[in-house]
Amino acid sequence: MGKKIIFQKCNFNNIYFLLYIVMAFINHFIEYKLYPDDDEVDESPNKYLLPTRIIYELYIYNLSDFLAIIPYFIRKKLLKKKEENINIKIDDTDNNKQFDYTALIYNDNNTLVSIKKKKIIKFNLILIGILDFLQKLAPILYSIIYDDKEITIYSFSCIVPLEIILQFICSYFILKIHFYKLQKLSLFLNLGIFIVILIIDIINVVKHNSFDIKSYYFYAFNIIIYSIEYSYVKKIILNGFISVYLLMTIKGCILFILSLLFSLIMLLVKKEIFPRIGFFLTHTKYILLIIAKIFSNFFLSLSIWLIIDRFSPNYFPFALIFNEICYFVIEIILKKNNDEIRNWSLYFRIFLYVISFIGVLIHNEIVIINICNLGSDTKYFLDLKLKSEELFSRTNDPKIMQRYESYDEMQLVNEEED
């Protein structure tokens, strides 16, 4: 209790963050290579921004979702095999009495899930598919509205602090995750960081013309949509009796239908982009990049959904910060956006990101601050209190009882022993 800062222990599930970092780096590297160079096309490469964005945001992501069907069937087969082994053991131990032991392990959906709840789950599944489509549609709309312009913002901008805040807020309202003192401290800390970096971004836009400020609107729309989506993903995992792999597959089916409808609309209103899409399907280099991108997207999305499954959407901000670092490193490697990388405010923004990272650690109680009673209502201290009460209820040791009893009561115990 005397410690001012307490660090919680890591567990095996933290490996999914490592998987995310590796796949994010590979994914970003492939993404940069998907754009054609001047010597590869007969017209301005900017004409290929929209086709590349459609391939990347819709088609590749959609195909990667269907890869989840492979681990889904593998997992289903392993569970079935495990179930058979359990039934064999039960039969061996009790030959005269046979029963379905799986009823003790798995919940029966037919009895536990009401018709009304099933309808809610189906509605949420459709909602997730629609939200996923909308958040992928945001950068495509930018390329459509502002023809031949790429949606870009330099590294360590105010976008990630905004993402963190929105994810916390969506978890609070959708998942009913209560905010205690440390969570409120983290929320206001990230809010302050967002405001400071936003001011720096506005200065850079006005003074240095670093990027198109209109892209902020599309980024904000994208962030709001997927923050809501991830909270509903967790809600379905908690209440829907659905594995992550099946959830990804169902989402892929819904996204496929919406992507098909969008493609038909684009064929009517902007059909000139389809020959440019065909360019990527007729060159071996881009075919290989697309295949690599499908697999990297699958493992990247899977790592995100496993983080949400094993932890909560409030842990996803760790991935957001790692994601921003990956972007920055690749920009340096490929020597892109060097003016922004050498920007006067870079080191200050990186410092604020470090503070934001600490804020996320505090929010998820990985780091507990035991100052001014801030950590009194954390799970760590509540567990300690429960263990202490259980110890007191079972013990007859006067030294342990002395921690809880008054001096007079302790004196009475000593007199009885004498």
**Looking at residue 103, what is its pLDDT?**
44
Residue segments in the chain with a per-residue pLDDT below the cut of 50: 99-107, 109, 406-414, 417
Instruction: Take residue 99 and report the two structure tokens written for it.
Output: 């029963």
Rounded distance, CA 142 to CA 68, Å? Answer: 30
Residue 372: which residues within 8 A CB-CB, separation 6 or more?
none
Closest CA to 233 of 320, 128, 360, 307: 128
SS3 content of the chain, % helix, strand, coil (to 5): 75, 0, 25
Q: Which helix (H) or strand (E) is 5 found in, with range?
A: strand 5-7
Rounded distance, CA 202 to CA 213, Å? Answer: 8
List pLDDT tens digits, range 182-227. Answer: 888 889 999 999 999 999 888 888 887 777 788 888 989 999 999 9
H helices of 94-212, in order, are 109-112, 115-145, 159-174, 181-203
**Looking at residue 40, what is its pLDDT?**
82
Residue 213: which residues within 8 A CB-CB, separation 6 or more?
202, 205
By CB atoms closer than 10 A (0-12, 13-18, 19+), residue 35 is middle
Nearest 10 degrees: Cα torsion 28, 31, 37, 42: -170
Q: How far is CA 150 from each of CA 19, 32, 52, 144, 147, rounded to the nearest angstrom?
A: 28, 12, 10, 10, 9
Closest CA to 125 of 308, 247, 257, 258: 247
Instruction: Take residue 362 and report the two structure tokens written for it.
Output: 């505090």
Closest CA to 316 of 109, 414, 171: 171
Nearest 10 degrees: Cα torsion 19, 227, 232, 299: -20
Rounded distance, CA 64 to CA 299, Å? Answer: 9
The amino acid at residue 145 is: I
Rounded distance, CA 306 to CA 91, Å? Answer: 36
**Looking at residue 254, what is its pLDDT?**
94
- Say if residues 239 and 117 touch (Cβ distance below 8 Å): yes
By CB atoms closer than 10 A (0-12, 13-18, 19+), residue 209 is exposed
Degrees to nearest 5, angle at CA 149 with 224 and 327:
60
Rounded distance, CA 144 to CA 270, Å? Answer: 9
Rounded distance, CA 145 to CA 246, Å? Answer: 35
Residue 104: which residues within 8 A CB-CB, separation 6 or more?
none
Residue 414: which residues within 8 A CB-CB, separation 6 or more?
398
